[in-house]
Each structure stands twice: as structure tokens, then as C-alpha cells.
Amino acid sequence: MEHHVYEAEHHAFRELCKEFLAREAVPHNDEWEKAGIVDRDVWRKAGAVGLLGMDVDERHGGGGQRDFRFNAVLVEEIVAAGASGLGFGLHNDVVAPYLTDLTTEDQQNRWLPGFCSGDIVTAIAMSEPAAGSDLAGIRTTAVRDGDSWVLNGQKTFITNGELADLVIVVAKTDPSRGAHGISLFGVERGTPGFSRGRRLEKVGLKANDTAELFFDDCRIPSDHLIGQENQGFYHLMANLPRERLGIAVAAVAAAEHILSVTLDYAKSRAAFGRPIGKFQHNRFLLAELDTEVTIARTFLNACIVEQNAGRLSVTDAAKAKWWTTELQNKVADRCLQLHGGYGFMLEYPVAKAWLNSRVQTIYGGTTEIMKEIIGRSLGL
């Protein structure tokens, strides 16, 4: 099926992304994976060519394009390049709207230019050791003290955790009120009482710096509150569909990519005198995966159109999130199998694709939490 959502300007942007990644990311990827973190420099380079803050206003140095298709194109190309360490998706798709939509003019002036130039790498810290799915169960607190907020608590699994210059921290400002007592704060690198813990050793996404963060009487100016006091939960809810759509974009892109790599493999690898893809079991399997990837792409594109129209519902984002990420895992798993012993060797892209895919059904809200959301929308 021809897909009709991308237009000329997106194709041009795609070329830009491709070229940038080929030059600035692919050659360093192995080294980044070994280091467990990308070079900070690549962020500034990305900012310079316009890969950060595509939908931030031009006056702050952004692209000024409120069109999620640009975000999607960038994520697709990062996935295709295998540059999984680049947390641009988190920065552009997840963090950006908090900074553009919930901030004061002062906050925008302080943070957005660096956001767009790559001088300010961002992260968002919701999860804690004892509370992931259950966001309302977090324990980090922020207590008002004169002109400051004092934060105490611990976060974990934070993408871009070490590189981040600005972290949006979710904390309880009124612990007695559960979800109604949560607020968001911008915490900058270097704030006393804010420290980083270990870099976590992961199954995949080797080049990304997923980290623990600690807040120990960490005092921040009162105007680093982002959005309304005690409305943090609702700010998060409002932005989660966009985060989930971003994950779905990565999922479909990864599935398409692995499938295409595997198709080539299945045509060239021979056993018993013919290409392994010609064995009917494998042919049918590839036909099945190709069908599901086509269908996922169609649905994803429809969701992107909805997002651009300001209509993407929480439920549809949840559907897109769980279904495409489960599919990505299925595709990766079946494609690894099609590679035989080679699929188990890290030098084969399918192996890394399989490793990276595994977290997708977990972060941004697990498949189980997505089904809760959808189930509730059905009145159950």
C-alpha cells in the first residue's frame, strides 16, 4: 500500500536526517555502545542542523513546525541507522511539549534555546525504584520553603540520565492528595543536592545512558515549577499520548527495518540447495510479518494524522503503543530465528534489533497498563 502521509518537505528532512546520522552517528556507534553513552558533542551537531526542537518556535531557535511527521521521520531514521543511543526522541517527542506548552515566558527563554541548540540535553524523571506503572505511588517530595522548592527522593531508569542538563522531575507537592498532589519541576545540572547514580547495564539500547538520579535536599528556585502546582499528574496524562505515539513510530520503523534486512537475508542464505526464504514455512512467515507491518504502518499513519489534528485520543495512543511494540518484538524474534545461528551473533543487526525491541513493551507504560486504559475506555 502506498502511504500518503509524507510530503515533499518530509522527504527532504528525511534526507537531512539520513545524511547526518551516516556522518555523525553510525561511525561512532560501536564506541558509544562500549562506553554506554553517546558523545555530548553529537547533540550540538544535531542541534546545529535542526534535528532538535522541530516544533519549538523559531524565536527560540526551533523549527517552528507543529507537525509530528518531522518527529516521526527523525525517529525512523535513528532506528534505521541503529543509533539507539541518541535520545533525541525522548527530547523532541516527550520533553518538548512540557517546555513549550506549560512554561512561562521566562522559562522558555531560559531553556528553549539550549534545547534547540543541543546545549541543554533533557530528560524526564517519573519512575522510581518502587513506582513505575503506578505513577501516583511515587515518593519523591518537593516542599515549598520560601522562594525555593526542596526535593528529596530517588528516580531510576532515566533515559539521557547522565547527559541531561535539564531534568523534568515529577514530585509530590501534596502527598496526602495522591494523584492530585503531584507537580513538575525543572532541575538543572549542577544544582546542589542533585546527583546521578550508576549507569544501568541493560539488555539493549547499549549506547543510551539510562541512569539513577538522587535528590537530597535539592533546592531549586520556585519558578522552576513547570505547569500548575498539584496538576502534574494531569500534565503528564495530557502528554503521554504523544510519548506513546513516538514509541509506536520507533516500533513500526524498527519492524520495517528488521523485516527488510531479513528478507534480503532469506533470499541470499541457502540451505538444502535453495534460499531459505523459499521454504514455504518461511515464505508464509515473512508474508505474515509483512502483512502485519503494513497494517501497523497504516494505523500508525492514521494516528499521526490524528495527532497533527490535535485529536489523538488517549485510547488510540494506547492501542498504537501496545500493538506496534508487541509486533516489533514478534518481528524481531521471528527474524532472529530466520538467521539461524547468525541471529545469536551481535555483529548481525537482527541481534541488536531483537535486544533493543524488548524494552518497548515496558517503558512509556507497559502493555498491561495500555490494556487497562483501553479496557477502562470500554467501560470495564
Ligand X SMILES: Cc1cc2nc3c(=O)[nH]c(=O)nc-3n(C[C@H](O)[C@H](O)[C@H](O)COP(=O)(O)OP(=O)(O)OC[C@H]3O[C@@H](n4cnc5c(N)ncnc54)[C@H](O)[C@@H]3O)c2cc1C
Among all residues, which ones are annotated catalytic?
243
Judging by beta carbons within 10 Å of its beta carbon (0-12, 13-18, 19+), is residue 358 exposed, middle or buried?
middle
Q: Which does 149 bind (CB under 5 to 8 A by kind): a copy of itself, ligand X, none?
A: none
Here the cell at position 77 is 531514521
Neighbours of 4 (CB within 10 A): 8
Asked if residue 226 binds ligand X (CB under 6 A), the reply is: no
Contact 86, 227 (CB under 8 A): no
According to CB under 8 A, which residues from 338 to 357 bind a copy of itself? 340-341, 343-347, 351, 354-355
Contact 333, 354 (CB under 8 A): yes
According to CB under 6 A, which residues from 153 to 182 bind ligand X? 157-159
DSSP one-letter code for 343: G
Q: Which ranges of 53-128 would DSSP assign to H, the alpha helix?
A: 68-81, 88-89, 96-101, 105-117
Nearest approach, Cβ of 10 to ligand X (angstroms)? 27
In angstroms, rounded to a whole number, what is the distance separating the alpha carbons of residues 128 and 125? 8
Contact 21, 78 (CB under 8 A): yes
Asked if residue 203 binds ligand X (CB under 6 A), the reply is: no
According to CB under 8 A, which residues from 74 to 133 bind a copy of itself? 127, 130-133
Contact 286, 258 (CB under 8 A): no
Q: Which does 291 bind (CB under 5 to 8 A by kind): a copy of itself, ligand X, none?
A: a copy of itself
The single residue among 298, 308, 314, 349 that binds a copy of itself, judged by CB under 8 A, is: 298
Q: Which does 316 bind (CB under 5 to 8 A by kind): ligand X, a copy of itself, none?
A: a copy of itself
Asked if residue 157 binds a copy of itself (CB under 8 A), the reply is: yes
Asked if residue 313 binds a copy of itself (CB under 8 A), the reply is: yes
Binding residues for ligand X, rule: CB under 6 A, are: 123-127, 132-134, 157-159, 202, 205, 210, 269, 271-272, 276, 279, 281-282, 337-338, 340-342, 344, 359, 362-363, 365-366, 368-369, 372
